[in-house]
Structure 1
Amino acid sequence: MTTLRSLLSSLLLATGVLGLAACGDDSTARVTVKLTDAPGDNFEKAVVTITKVYLKGSEDVVLLDEPVTVNLLTLANDAADLVKDAEVPQGTYRELRFVISGGYIQVNEDGQRRIYATSPNYAGLPEGTQADGELHMPSASSSGLKVKFDKDADVTITSEDTQKVILVDFDVAQSFGRAAGNSGRWVMGPVIKGADLQFSGNVKATLALGTGVQLPGGDTPLELSAFSAVLINADGSRETLPFSASPDGLFVANFKFLLPGTYQVDVVAPAGVSFTTAPSHPASATIGSGAETAVNFTLTSVSR
């Protein structure tokens, strides 16, 4: 999965607890919007400038109106504060929308690095960089991009909530694609999903050696840390994390800030290594509201 995550400004915080706290006025509450990203294969950068975030209701409520430029790929398996403690009147809001003024992607195409930008003069391009082609963002800078909530649920804000944070997942792999025909353009058709942060969960994948199973030795002995876990969402976006040793002796890959749903969890090995696992891989994992789901793989054979 290549999905937005370094401290970028007072609005962007790579880690931390986000909350919705009632403020002094009983008719309002404070809202935080936390941004995460599901990544995409072959993408090296996906940079956007967000100029406005607002809630649509009987009256629109602006949560952010200062430009923030962010590389979405830095947020894989992480999250950042895009809006922090914005004061919002109580009520029911039909939509959360993002206005994006521009951006660029850097992709690997047939072994070559290419950049596609909304404009040759887009301010987010690194100094001296020339774009190889155009990135088209229809409607992104006018009415804004709608965040899709499960079952098209409304966003309800009350002053009685002690914690209510909106987690927004910008799926890079599903949001950018080549334009039809031979124009050479790329188009952004965003897939942006949202949920209350309290409903998000995580997948903890572990890897261990089975009884009697030994890793191949030789000049370059194979280690469990050479294996990686891959999380695949329902849209096919993939996120890869290496297994790291934990204090209890297991090797763990922990995928965080996941919206509820069913995912596939796979295990990959270095080139030239064959292996089997129990359970067999990939395995299915269903994320419930605010829960951790464990997928425990045991290597039953390894060779190279």
Structure 2
Amino acid sequence: MPSLRQLTSSLLLATGLLLAACGEDKARVTLKLTDAPGDGIEKAVVTISKVYLKGSVEGEEGKGDVVLLSEPVTTDLLTLANDTADLVTDAEVPAGTYKELRFVITGGYIQVKQDGQSRIFATSANYEGLPEGAQVDGDLQMPSASSSGLKVKFDKDADVTITSDDDQKVILVDFDVAQSFGKEAGNSGKWVMRPIIKGADMRFSGNVEVTLQLGDGLSFPMPGTTQLSGFSAVLINADGSRETMPFTLATNSVAVADFKYLLPGDYQVDLVAPTGVSFTTDIARPAATSVSSGVESDVHFTLTSIDF
């Protein structure tokens, strides 16, 4: 959720599996991708070369790997905050029980802010996903990402069972960017990707709607200078990844920020004011909230004082 959800914020990656009936013993699968943003990371580009389910196909003991994606897809995970993108559409999957979803990542780079400058760390200086003319300042290492693939841990370690008469299902996979990229120990200057990826049935994902309201008697000194839309909401997941979202005015005195595609769990919500503004609210910050299966959580702040 690094910013959070999108590499959350949190990297916040989220993936969906849409399972619909298809034939006598197969289902159709669509794979969706989303992510949690990461503080200080400006870009997080990866090339996903293969995605597969690992398990036990009915009637074929020991032959449980089903490839969903074999053509490389390159994407900037940070463009997917609060959104999803299709990686696979209508792949046929045999009925069976699948214990893992795995991503094989064969290259990538991150662009980070260091000492007031943007620096690029890539898996190689000639990685195909780099912008034309980009200067690579250091190495990005991805242990095991291109061999056995990165395992997606499903909520409560539940297996994924696919049957020919399934109703449509969605599994959301959250790739926490902030927790997945970090500097290598020491002074090598290298960065390392050790992905934190979690999944849950999309039906059981939720959202957090944050509302900010002016208290009675409060107003901004000059219309158009500093308004509620100048504030931002900050969502913090259990691992400490943060996602920041500007408020959108609903009325002159109420603003809203809606964080979508969240896995069930505990979160905190905080506020950030425009530069030079201090404020207090009616409830303590950060405020605790929980996301439950298929439910919207609401956090409401009322400004009780504003100083410019």
Q: Do both proteins adopt the same fold according to a TM-score greater than 0.5, normalized to the shorter chain?
A: yes
| Percentage of matched positions with identical amino acids | 70
Q: 1:253 aligns with which of 257, 260, 264?
A: 257
Aligned to 2:35: 37
The 3 A distance-change label for structure 1 pair 4 and 283 is closer
Alpha-carbon separation, structure 1, partners of 2:6 and 2:231: 25
1:47-86 superposed matches below 5 A? 47-58=45-56, 59-86=64-91
| Map of 1:113 onto structure 2 | 118
How far has the Cα of 1:159 moved from its partner? 2.2
Is contact 1:225-1:243 (8 Å) kept? Answer: yes
- 1:19 counterpart letter in structure 2: L
Size of the alignment, in residue pairs? Answer: 291
Equivalent residue, structure 2, for 1:301: 305
Per-residue deviation, 1:43: 0.4
Distance of 1:18 and 1:51 partners within structure 2: 18
Q: Distance in 1 between matches of 2:225 and 2:156?
A: 50
Q: 1:144 aligns with which of 149, 152, 169?
A: 149
Paired letter, 1:78: D
Gaps of 5+ in 1: 6-16
Aligned residue among 156, 172, 179 for 2:161: 156
Contact 1:149/1:193, CA 8 A, preserved across alignment: yes
Matches within 5 A, 1:12-27: 19-23=18-22, 25-27=23-25
User: Among 191, 205, 214, which residue is 2:210 paired with?
Assistant: 205
Q: Which letter maps to 1:268?
A: V
Q: Cα RMSD between the aligned structures?
A: 1.8
- Bigger RCO of structures 1 and 2 (CA < 8 A, at least 6 apart): 2
Distance 1:264 1:172, change over 3 A: same
Q: Measure how far apart 1:49 and its partner are.
A: 0.1
For residue 13 of structure 1, what is the aligned residue in structure 2? none
Residue 133 of structure 1 aligns with which residue? 138
* 3-state SS, counterpart of residue 295 of structure 1: strand
**CA apart distance, 1:287:** 0.3
SS of residue in 2 equivalent to 1:215: coil
| Corresponding residue to 2:26 among 25, 28, 31 | 28
Conservation of the 8 A alpha-carbon contact between 2:214 and 2:254: no
Partners of 2:153 and 2:97 lie apart in 1 by: 16
Alignment partner for residue 275 of structure 1, among 279, 289, 294? 279
Q: Secondary structure at the match of 1:74?
A: helix
- Report if the CA contact (8 A) 1:243-1:252 is conserved: yes
Deviation of the 1:250 alpha carbon: 2.7
Looking at structure 1, the residues matched to 17 and 175 of structure 2 have their Cα atoms a distance apart, in angstroms, of 18
What are the Cα deviations for residues 33-84 of structure 1, in whole angstroms up to 9, with x where unaligned? 2211111111000000000000001320001110000001001111111222
Moved over 6 A (4+): none
Tell me if structure 2 keeps the 8 A contact 1:31–1:165.
no
SS in 2 for 1:174: helix
Please report the TM-score for the alignment, with normalisation by the length of structure 2. 0.90
1:259 Cα offset (Å):
0.5
Q: Distance between the aligned counterparts of 2:153 and 2:251, measured in 1?
A: 39
SS of residue paired to 1:21: strand
Structure 1 residues 226 and 133: alpha-carbon distance in aligned structure 2, compared to 1, 3 A threshold = same
Q: How does 1:92-103 map to 2 (within 5 A)?
A: 92-103=97-108
